[in-house]
Amino acid sequence: MRTLVKCQRVIIEAGGGTFTLDLHPRLSVIAGLGPAERDSLVSEIIGALGGSRTGVHLELRDANGRHLAVFRPKGERHRVIDVTTAEDVSHEFVGAGGQIDLLSRSGLDANSARHYLILGPKDFSTVDPIGERITLLAAVDQRELWAAADMVTSTKEPAAAGAPSSVTPLTGTTEVADKVEELHDEVEAALAKEQRVHRLTYRIAAVTAGLSVPVALISPMLSLPLLFATGASMAVAVVAQRRIGQASRAEQVALEEAGAQSYLGFHLDRVNTMLSTADTKKKSSAPVDPRRALEAWRELAGDISPEWALAHREEIIAAALLQRGASPLNGTQETYTPVEGGLAANLAHSLVTHLTEVRKMGPEGESLPLLLDDPFISLDPSVKPALLELLSRSAGSPQVIFLTNDPDVCTWARLEALTGEIGILEAAPTVDEDPDSVDFSAQP
């Protein structure tokens, strides 16, 4: 029998009452919790999975699709019930200590579960050798990098008799891809120009506005040129902002034509499809020379193997976009600054590594839920959009439960929840004597 895959509901008995968390099968954001409340809720969930929490009940789906309910009543025997058949299946989940333990089949106890199933701010603190390699590859032109990787790997696959070798770096038509890249470059150029204009016009406006007051006291007519200069500088800034908006809207239209919602999603979709669908490769009249393909790869990646790069492609692409400057999410017109290479690689690597480990935690490759304890709270707002999108794309396998008090994450989650792709629960303070208590019952 397989381990659980996704939690549907957590019911916690506390203080003579209960509160219920209805969880989204992909990604649930539980917002409005301080550090103490987050740590307490994480402990309750881990304890309920591992058997150390009485009074915490679960509803879940296992890898076979069964709807299971885990009952842990105080002072009574803990049980696991198949809700559909009303059969007691507790014997399938008995751990070494004789208690109901849903983690033991994955070789986890309470301590190791906290290590593997919880991602917090400390997990982004260092850059390891893998992060260094990601940094190196993220600095390379991504179109050239994945084209070279495809050329090397295609020479290692036996071609069908009479069938020509095929090489293409990315999916979709060349015209659409080139259009997206061209418009994205225009957005970046507009942003860079706007920043220069903003600095210049701010200085001009500050000087002219400051001089206009004393000059007006001497002669109102002399102050008119200064006021005109102030207005002109502000008008230039408005025009620069409009150009950014126009470029961003044009880029978004091109992305929608390519079937993507953002620049990050566009690249991930193109690379993933390239690797999984051989039919999307362009036909070439001449076979690829393996030696030349390998030389081209080494010029870009050095001693790093293309197989390693392909295994870490999502981390590399995410790090590249973080270094370059994350594209705005949800059509906003905010600007984001590039992230230093080592930090970008570390952020992408840490997130994807945890998702991958938890995704294959079960004895037959099943996933367990990943608990995020406000991991992005200390990061600059400019780096969060690409990480949140990467998280959103990967959520579901494994299921992600994101506990946060980060206003940037909360704002993002409220918008994403409108699509139904994620769920959000927002804690509201209760009116009892305990100011730290929270109530989820009134939340969707």
Residue 232 above 60 pLDDT?
yes
pTM assigned to the model: 0.65
Report yes or no: 319 and 347 within 8 Å, Cβ to Cβ: yes
Q: Is the peptide bond before 398 cis (omega within 30 degrees of 0)?
A: yes
HEC letters along 20-42: EEECCCCEEEEECCCHHHHHHHH
Report yes or no: 36 and 27 within 8 Å, Cβ to Cβ: no
Q: How high is the pLDDT of residue 431?
A: 43
Q: What would the mean pLDDT of 256-262 be, rounded to a whole number?
A: 61
- In order of their start, the domains of the chain are 4-128+354-439 (3.40.50.300)
Provide CB contacts within 8 A for 75, sequence distance 6+.
none
Write out the H or E segment, with its range, that includes residue 233: helix 220-257
Handedness of CA 172, 178, 179, 180 (dihedral sign): positive
Q: How high is the pLDDT of residue 160?
A: 38
Helices 263-276 + 220-257 axis angle, to 10: 20
Share above pLDDT 70 across residues of the chain, in percent, rounded to a whole number: 59
Handedness of CA 40, 46, 48, 52 (dihedral sign): negative
Q: Extract the tokens encoding 337.
A: 């600054």
Residue 37's CB is within 10 A of a number of other CB atoms, namely 17
Report yes or no: 58 and 101 within 8 Å, Cβ to Cβ: no
Name which of 199, 334, 314 is nearest 264 in CA terms: 314
How does pLDDT run across 177-217, given as a tens digit for each residue?
667 667 666 656 665 565 565 556 656 655 665 666 565 56
**Of 174-178, 254-258, 335-339, minimum mean pLDDT range:** 335-339
pLDDT-based confidence at 397, cuts 50/70/90? confident
Pairing relation of β-strands 370-373 and 400-404? parallel
Q: Extract the tokens encoding 279.
A: 């039919």
Q: How high is the pLDDT of residue 23?
A: 94
Exposure string of 231-270, with b = 16+ CB inside 10 Å and e = fewer, is eebeebbeebeebbeebbebbbebbeebebbbbbbbbbbb
For 121, the 3-state DSSP assignment is: helix
- Where residue 277 falls (left for φ over 0; alpha for ψ -120 to 50; beta otherwise) is beta
Greater confidence, 305 or 264?
305
Q: How high is the pLDDT of residue 405?
A: 93
The amino acid that residue 134 corresponds to is I
Q: What is the DSSP string of 388-421?
A: HHHHHHHTTSS-EEEEE--HHHHHHHHHHHTTTS
Residue 406 above 80 pLDDT?
yes
Q: How high is the pLDDT of residue 248?
A: 62
Using the structure block, give the residue that is written with the tokens 């600007």.
335
Q: How high is the pLDDT of residue 38?
A: 92
For 56, phi and psi rounded to 5 degrees? -115, 115
H helix and E strand count, the chain: 13, 13
DSSP 88: E
